[in-house]
């Protein structure tokens, strides 16, 4: 970790080596304050050492040189604005997420040594290791850098001389830094060896005024750092290194305070994150959050090939290389002289700026061509457009987002990237599947709004602290209690009416499950992802879903790297299959913190299962749900704003026109007769040729209309779509219809009666 993280290859696990962690990027004071004589010898020694390390020297070409930036890392780039240029709406809602890269990419500061990775990458024996493309030789080979999506056409697939020259120049500099770092680490290791027999004095330390050293303030940054490192050493080897009579809890409390002071976290959040890791790994995690992840772009394969895109950008002076063998579309940017959000290639939709971690849920969902896919929280569309590319613009994607402004950005990206199989809708995802169901695959990329402030924000964002340092301090316990709640302003009242113990995020995952067609021949999958690392937003939500929906099970994500989800942490025990979920951290894979779980829907939701909108009223535990013998799915599909027959007032969707319906039905009947050759002369009644009772067509029409109205594309899905989209008629196990959904309106019943009559006549 440390400097030059942008330049590291994606997915490269970092060894959890304390010596690496100690290269703190904050400027350390050069020497210990002579006044503080009472401080521990350890602390004084550390401070001295830091001074010596501040300008590490190394031999390059036989000369003793000071590497640029030395082992001090450049100050992390200022937190980027919340939205990236992909969100072309420039929405001012303060939203940030893992998909979003910084604005102002012309300011990318990845030059020289700063931009180079540390020396440690190849040492890690993580499963991901085999994917690493890291050596000089490989880079110089040029063509072999590109993964198997590109055939080996000699000329085209070679990097330009300029790119090679640039890369090798960087590699030379990288070697210099590596040597310097290796020397510094060696020095440090020697130091550690000499003091290993000593029990560091940590808890007893007092400053000259007799204050416990735990009250060190930020100015004492190096002493703080030293003690932090010592505390971790003690916790690692408590028996041999702890002071007599001291408990682990005391050391942990001291560590927590130091982490808060050193890295600037709120105690609440630091405590929560500390719980996820061993103390040593926690430090690596906090350290990695100090540096932004590398800039990555995703090639839009609907418009170009990665090799061609790379060549075009190289010609513009961009230094880049493939993100890693795990992705066939990602390119990591080392250095650029052109604003990546304004190149002709960008404007032509050849790529999108997207964090590498955002590729993962889409890869896990693995949509197939011709499927029907729902992206429940889609803006600004990084994942939607990736889905469209994987589906080669076939089938149909419903890209939904509750935030109107962000949905505009979503539409912009869909157009720019040329996704033509996508319909944008504007609902709270909570309202699915009442809006529409029967999807082959559903992506739920979780997002949270704070109820207290009614301010939009990313989930907890604990996975993207490197992008938004404010997360370190602005999360309180209350936020986490609320966190698993997705609260678009439009349904804020619903939120407030919800009982405390039923979070909306949990409701949404149920809505996602119920939107899936378990009969899907090709799919039947849900991927749930968050840009957070907390258990509350991940395993706990997944477990809730497993409890409330016995008709789903976790399956392998198919992702080739990632840490297993927790099955047991902090007294919480989760289903053993939780191992199949995947966690991502910056310090292990150099991607933003992320979580991915993949479910397979195996059958209909039982009638006594907690429904999307009745969770608070129906108490169903998993045991009772599991014992349900029947095969009946009960999903409340009451259309939003549905009115009773007697109510003359029209709904949002304009009500129904039975006469018009008749016209469509007759047309369809006649067409069918002609098509089947039963009555080639059947007269097709005149009418709107574009009319179709296909749900997708109607939704498209609505979208188009809305667009032409200048408003956001909002899919108008009413009873007709709901019906065409497949009102699920509850069926017994043998497939005989036994009971229609309770919520089917009188009007629908009447209409279906009429249709039957027409059919009989025909
Ligand atoms: C993490 S972002 C999604 C990023 C997107 N999947 C992508 O890859 O570009 C979360 C999105 O969820 C939306 N959102 C928040 N609450 C929602 C809700 N209840 N229903 C649907 N969308 C919601 C936000 O407006 C935001 O755009």
pTM attached to this predicted model = 0.61
| Ligand 1 atom closest to the CA of 375, numbered from 1 | 6
What's the pLDDT at 217?
54
CB of residue 410 inside a 6 A radius of ligand 1: no
- β-strands 396-400, 422-425: how paired? parallel
77 CA → ligand 1 middle, Å = 26
For the purposes of burial, counting CB atoms within 10 Å of the CB of 646, is it exposed (0-12), middle (13-18) or buried (19 or more)? Answer: exposed
> Does 377 belong to an annotated binding site?
yes
Could you read off the pLDDT of 512-525 as tens digits, one per residue? Answer: 999 999 999 999 99
Give the integer Cα–Cα distance in Å for 55 and 47.
Answer: 14
Look up residue 435 and give its two tokens: 């809006």
CB of residue 528 inside a 6 A radius of ligand 1: no
396 is annotated as an active-site residue: no
What's the pLDDT at 127?
32
Whether this model's ipTM surpasses 0.95 comes out as yes
Nearest to 457 by CA among 537, 371, 546, 358: 537
| Ligand 1 atom closest to the CA of 98, numbered from 1 | 1
> Does 679 belong to an annotated binding site?
no
CB of residue 428 inside a 6 A radius of ligand 1: yes
User: How many alpha carbons fall within 13 Å on the CB side of residue 539?
Assistant: 23
3-state secondary structure of 560: coil
Ligand 1 mutation target, pool 86, 364, 379, most atoms within 8 A of CB: 379
3-state secondary structure of 455: strand
CB of residue 507 inside a 6 A radius of ligand 1: no
Q: Which domains occur in the chain, in start order?
A: 1-74+109-293 (no CATH), 357-363+370-626 (3.40.50.150), 658-761 (no CATH)
CB of residue 486 inside a 6 A radius of ligand 1: yes
377 CA → ligand 1 middle, Å = 4
Question: Tokens 């409701």 sit at which residue?
Answer: 507
8 CA → ligand 1 middle, Å = 29
Report yes or no: 94 and 455 within 8 Å, Cβ to Cβ.
Answer: yes
| Ligand 1 atom closest to the CA of 403, numbered from 1 | 25
707 CA → ligand 1 middle, Å = 20
Which residue has its alpha carbon closest to ligand 1 atom 18?
428
Residues of the chain with pLDDT under 70: 1-170, 172-174, 176-177, 180-181, 183-184, 186-198, 201-202, 204-219, 447-502, 611-657, 675-762
CB of residue 594 inside a 6 A radius of ligand 1: no
Give the integer Cα–Cα distance in Å for 283 and 19.
Answer: 11
> Does 380 belong to an annotated binding site?
yes
Ligand 1 mutation target, pool 419, 433, 447, most atoms within 8 A of CB: 447
For the purposes of burial, counting CB atoms within 10 Å of the CB of 467, is it exposed (0-12), middle (13-18) or buried (19 or more)? Answer: buried
3-state secondary structure of 555: strand
76 CA → ligand 1 middle, Å = 27
What's the pLDDT at 475?
56
Other beta carbons within 10 Å of 123: 13
Give the integer Cα–Cα distance in Å for 460 and 330.
Answer: 26
For the purposes of burial, counting CB atoms within 10 Å of the CB of 254, is it exposed (0-12), middle (13-18) or buried (19 or more)? Answer: buried
> Does 34 belong to an annotated binding site?
no
Ligand 1 mutation target, pool 84, 94, 97, 382, most atoms within 8 A of CB: 97
Question: Tokens 């401070």 sit at which residue?
Answer: 47
95 CA → ligand 1 middle, Å = 9
Which residue has its alpha carbon closest to ligand 1 atom 19?
428
CB of residue 100 inside a 6 A radius of ligand 1: no
Nearest to 744 by CA among 719, 712, 715: 719
What's the pLDDT at 10?
54
Give the integer Cα–Cα distance in Å for 76 and 109.
Answer: 10
What's the pLDDT at 492?
29
Give the integer Cα–Cα distance in Å for 358 and 194.
Answer: 45
What's the pLDDT at 526?
98
CB of residue 409 inside a 6 A radius of ligand 1: no
Question: Tokens 């909002």 sit at which residue?
Answer: 714
Query: One of 260, 459, 531, 545 is an active-site residue; which one?
Result: 531
Could you read off the pLDDT of 334-383 as tens digits, one per residue? Answer: 999 999 999 999 999 999 999 999 999 999 999 999 999 999 999 999 99
What's the pLDDT at 25?
37
Give the integer Cα–Cα distance in Å for 272 and 275.
Answer: 5
| Ligand 1 atom closest to the CA of 376, numbered from 1 | 21
Give the integer Cα–Cα distance in Å for 189 and 185.
Answer: 6
Ligand 1 mutation target, pool 84, 96, 403, most atoms within 8 A of CB: 403
| Ligand 1 atom closest to the CA of 100, numbered from 1 | 9
CB of residue 147 inside a 6 A radius of ligand 1: no
Q: Return the C-alpha torsion angle 614, 619, 620, 623, nearest 10.
A: 170
CB of residue 445 inside a 6 A radius of ligand 1: yes
CB of residue 81 inside a 6 A radius of ligand 1: no
């Amino acid at each position: 970790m440390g400097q030059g993280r942008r330049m590291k290859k994606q997915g490269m696990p970092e060894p959890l080596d304390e010596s690496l962690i100690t290269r703190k990027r904050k400027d350390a004071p050069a020497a210990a304050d002579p006044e503080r004589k009472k401080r521990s010898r350890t602390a004084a020694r550390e401070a001295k050492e830091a001074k010596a390390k501040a300008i590490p020297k190394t031999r390059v070409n036989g000369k003793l040189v000071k590497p640029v930036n030395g082992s001090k890392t450049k100050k992390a780039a200022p937190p980027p604005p919340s939205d990236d240029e992909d969100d072309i709406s420039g929405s001012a809602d303060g939203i940030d997420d893992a998909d979003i890269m910084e604005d102002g990419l012309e300011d990318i500061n990845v030059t020289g040594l700063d931009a180079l990775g540390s020396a440690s990458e190849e040492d890690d024996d993580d499963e991901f290791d085999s994917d690493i493309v890291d050596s000089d030789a490989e880079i110089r080979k040029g063509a072999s850098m590109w993964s198997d999506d590109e055939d080996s056409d000699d000329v085209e697939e070679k990097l330009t001389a300029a790119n090679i020259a640039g890369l090798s120049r960087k590699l030379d500099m990288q070697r210099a830094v590596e040597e310097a770092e290796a020397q510094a680490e060696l020095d440090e290791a020697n130091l550690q060896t000499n003091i290993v027999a000593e029990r560091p004095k940590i808890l007893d330390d007092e400053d000259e005024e007799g204050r416990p050293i735990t009250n060190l303030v930020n100015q004492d940054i190096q002493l703080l750092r030293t003690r932090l490192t010592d505390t971790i050493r003690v916790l690692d080897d408590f028996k041999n290194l702890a002071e007599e009579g001291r408990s682990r809890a005391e050391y942990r409390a001291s560590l927590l305070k130091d982490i808060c002071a050193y890295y600037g976290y709120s105690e609440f959040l630091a405590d929560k994150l500390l719980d996820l890791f061993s103390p040593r790994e926690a430090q690596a995690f906090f350290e990695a959050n100090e540096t932004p992840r590398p800039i990555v772009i995703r090639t839009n394969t609907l418009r170009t090939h990665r090799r061609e895109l790379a060549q075009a950008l190289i010609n513009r002076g961009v230094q880049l290389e493939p993100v890693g063998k795990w992705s066939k579309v990602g390119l990591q940017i080392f250095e650029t002289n052109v604003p990546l959000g304004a190149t002709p290639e960008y404007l032509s939709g050849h790529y999108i700026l997207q964090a590498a971690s955002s590729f993962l849920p889409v890869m896990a969902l693995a949509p197939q061509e011709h499927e029907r896919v729902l992206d429940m929280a889609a803006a600004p569309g990084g994942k939607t457009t990736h889905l469209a590319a994987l589906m080669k613009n076939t089938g149909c994607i419903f890209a939904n987002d509750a935030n109107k402004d962000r949905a505009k950005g979503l539409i912009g990206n869909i157009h720019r990237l040329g996704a033509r199989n996508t319909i944008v809708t504007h609902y709270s995802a909570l309202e699915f599947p009442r809006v529409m169901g029967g999807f082959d695959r559903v992506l739920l990329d979780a997002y949270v709004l704070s109820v207290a402030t009614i301010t939009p924000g990313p989930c907890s964002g604990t996975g993207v602290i490197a992008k938004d340092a404010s997360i370190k301090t602005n999360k309180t316990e209350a936020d986490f209690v609320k966190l698993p709640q997705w609260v678009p302003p439009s349904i804020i009242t619903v939120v407030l009416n919800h009982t405390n113990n039923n979070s909306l995020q949990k409701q949404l995952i149920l809505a996602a499950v119920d939107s899936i067609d378990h009969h899907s021949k090709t799919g039947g999958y849900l991927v749930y992802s968050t840009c957070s690392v907390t258990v509350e937003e991940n395993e706990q939500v997944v477990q809730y879903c497993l409890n409330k929906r016995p008709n789903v099970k976790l399956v392998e994500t198919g992702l080739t790297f990632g840490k297993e989800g927790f099955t047991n942490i902090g007294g919480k025990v989760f289903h053993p299959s939780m191992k199949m979920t995947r966690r991502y951290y910056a310090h292990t894979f150099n991607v933003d913190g992320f979580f991915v779980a993949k479910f397979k829907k195996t059958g209909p939701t039982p009638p006594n299962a907690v429904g999307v909108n009745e969770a608070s009223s129906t108490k169903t535990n998993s045991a009772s749900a599991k014992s349900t013998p029947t095969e009946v799915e009960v999903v409340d599909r009451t259309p939003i704003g549905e009115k009773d027959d007697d109510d003359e007032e029209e709904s949002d969707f304009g009500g129904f026109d039975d006469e018009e319906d008749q016209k469509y039905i007759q047309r369809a009947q006649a067409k069918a007769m002609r098509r089947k050759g039963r009555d080639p002369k059947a007269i097709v009644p005149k009418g709107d040729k574009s009319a179709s009772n296909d749900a997708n067509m109607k939704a498209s029409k609505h979208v188009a209309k809305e667009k032409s109205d200048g408003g956001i594309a909002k899919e108008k899905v009413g009873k007709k779509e709901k019906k065409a989209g497949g009102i699920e008629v509850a069926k017994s196990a043998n497939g005989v219809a036994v009971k229609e959904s309770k919520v089917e309106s009188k009007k629908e019943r009447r209409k279906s009666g009429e249709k039957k009559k027409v059919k009989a006549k025909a």
